[in-house]
Amino acid sequence: MIDPAEVLRWGEWRPRPGAARDPAIPAVAGLYRIRRVGRTDLDYIGQTGMGNMTLRRRLEMLGGVYAAEMPYRDPHTAAPALWALRQSTGEEFEVSVVPVEGTTPWRMGLEALAIAVHRQEHGRSPTVEFGRVPVGYRASSGNNAKLVLAGARFRGGPWEGEELAHLPGIPPLAPLTGDPDGPGCGGHSWSLWLPIGEASRSAGDAIGLYRIRGAPDSGLLYIGQGEIGHRLRHHARKVGRVGDRQGEVFAAAPLESSWVAGGWLAHQRLELEVDLIAAHLLVTGRVPAAQFLG
């Protein structure tokens, strides 16, 4: 069992404007969190560090939050929602970071842990996490050559219509404790463990959450969400595929899967998935071996 406070030693809060040039924010890989000044709840948690993408460079990509027009989703996917939040409340943002050494899966696992801890403390995810957008606004599209060529690039802004991104998230269903491959993990009623082929046929086109393991005593290899049967077949096909990092992990032992279906919205499934990954990390001290490998 690990202590979140030990692995997430956040730095002091700094003003968001100028954060990319703030000497208190190191130019290294890590996690960052964003909130409105004076509040205790968060608006966004992210991670960065692939290639030469440092905390300073990633925060620089949020400069569009202060533009006159809503920014596109590129280069930062949360920029449109943070822009809308600032427009609707008039509040300013501040940021806090924690440097993280180690692999990308470890850093992404800590991001999941930070989000899940916030969910436990506040009963909800950070305000614009998982693609959420404040009511009264529609987020901009991405900004790339393919979208431009297709005429599908657009700039968002005030919006009177209803969007899935406006709908509420789901609170955590259980504490971040318990056996990660047990029948009640995360507050769910999981199916029996079955060979992955049999599990994919049993789940069919049900939509929900699933777990994959190699053996009962080896721990989980992967936690996922989506159309369960399709996703399990997709993972199984990776076994033996040359150069596939997940396939190499999955090839180590016969795969079993357990799943649970539910009528959750897409962003709610992502919330519950994060809770499961965080619980696994807390209990075992590691992320599932095939998690975050692509």
Please give the residue that has the higher pLDDT: either 273 or 1. Answer: 273
pLDDT value of position 59: 94
Q: Kindly state the average pLDDT of the residues 118-131.
A: 98
The least confident of 68-82, 118-132, 177-191, 211-225 is 211-225
Strand bridging mode 220-227 / 194-195: unpaired
pLDDT value of position 253: 82
pLDDT value of position 18: 80
Model confidence over 198-207: pLDDT tens digits? 999 999 999 9
Dihedrals phi, psi of 165, to nearest 5 degrees: -65, -15
Binning pLDDT at 50, 70 and 90, where does residue 93 land? Answer: very high
pTM: predicted TM-score of the whole model, two decimal places? 0.95
Binning pLDDT at 50, 70 and 90, where does residue 241 land? Answer: confident
Mean pLDDT of the chain: 94
Q: Which domains does the chain have, with CATH numbers?
A: 4-166 (3.40.1440.10), 185-284 (3.40.1440.10)
Q: Kindly state the average pLDDT of the residues 226-253.
A: 91
Query: C-alpha angle with apex 13: 8 to 18, nearest 5 degrees?
Result: 120
Model confidence over 154-165: pLDDT tens digits? 999 999 999 999
Binning pLDDT at 50, 70 and 90, where does residue 211 land? Answer: very high
Binning pLDDT at 50, 70 and 90, where does residue 16 land? Answer: confident
pLDDT value of position 279: 97
Q: Which residue's structure tokens are 């709610």?
A: 268
Can you read off the two tokens belonging to residue 186? 């995360």
3-state secondary structure the chain: CCCHHHHCCCCCCEECCCHHHCCCCCCCCEEEEEEECCCCCCCEEEEECCCCCCHHHHHHCCHHHHCCCCCCCCCCCCHHHHHHHHHHHCCCEEEEEEECCCCHHHHHHHHHHHHHHHHHHHCCCCCCHHHCCCCCEECCCCCCHHHHHHCCCCCCEECCCCCHHHCCCCCCCCCCCCCCCCCCHHHCCCCCCEEHHHHHHHHCCCEEEEEEECCCCCCEEEEEEEEHHHHHHHHHHCCCCCCCHHHHHHCCCCCEEEEEECCCCHHHHHHHHHHHHHHHHHHHCCCCCCCCCC
Model confidence over 17-75: pLDDT tens digits? 888 788 889 999 999 999 999 999 999 999 999 888 899 999 999 999 999 999 999 99
